[in-house]
Amino acid sequence: MAVQIPRGTQDILPGTSEKWQYVENRMRDICRAFNYSEIRTPIFEQTELFQRSVGDTTDIVQKEMYTFEDKGGRSMTLRPEGTASVVRSYVENKRFGLPDQPDKLYYIGPMFRYERPQSGRMRQFVQFGVEAIGSDDPSIDAEVIALAMELYSSLGLKGLKLVINSLGDKESRENHKQALIEHFKPSIEEFCSDCQQRLEKNPLRILDCKKDKDHPLMETAPSILDYLNEDSRRYFEKVQAFLSQMGISFEIDPGLVRGLDYYNNTAFEIMIEGEGFGAITTLTGGGRYNGLTEELGGPEAPGIGFALSIERLLMALSAQNVELPVEKGLDCYVVTMGEKAETEAVSILWDLRRKGLRVEKDYMQKKIKAQFKAADRMNAAYTVVIGEDELQSGEVSIKKMSDGSQEKTAIADLAAYLTDKTGRE
Binding residues for ligand HAM, rule: CB under 6 A, are 81-83, 113, 115, 120-122, 125, 127, 129, 131, 259-260, 282-287, 305-309, 311-312
The C-alpha R_g of the chain, in whole angstroms, comes to 28
Beta strand spans in 177-280 (E): 251-252, 264-272
d(CA 149, CA 422): 34
d(CA 396, CA 417): 11
Nearest residue (CB) to ligand HAM, 282 versus 320:
282
CB of 125 to ligand HAM, least distance (A): 4
Nearest residue (CB) to ligand HAM, 133 versus 357:
133
CB of 86 to ligand HAM, least distance (A): 8
Sign of CA dihedral 38, 42, 43, 45: negative
CB of 202 to ligand HAM, least distance (A): 16
CB of 262 to ligand HAM, least distance (A): 8
* Residue 305: alpha-carbon gap to chain centroid: 13
Nearest residue (CB) to ligand HAM, 82 versus 302:
82
CB of 232 to ligand HAM, least distance (A): 18
Q: Which of 183, 192, 198 is nearest to 210 (CA)?
A: 192
Nearest residue (CB) to ligand HAM, 242 versus 277:
277
CB of 115 to ligand HAM, least distance (A): 5
Cis, bond preceding 102 (omega within 30 deg of 0): yes
Nearest residue (CB) to ligand HAM, 121 versus 183:
121
What b/e readout covers 53-92, taking b as 16+ CB neighbours within 10 angstroms?
A: bbbebbbbbeebbebeeeeeeeebbbbbbbbbbbbbbbbe
Contact indicator for 311, 120 with CB cutoff of 8 Å? yes
Nearest residue (CB) to ligand HAM, 260 versus 396:
260
Contact indicator for 45, 335 with CB cutoff of 8 Å? no
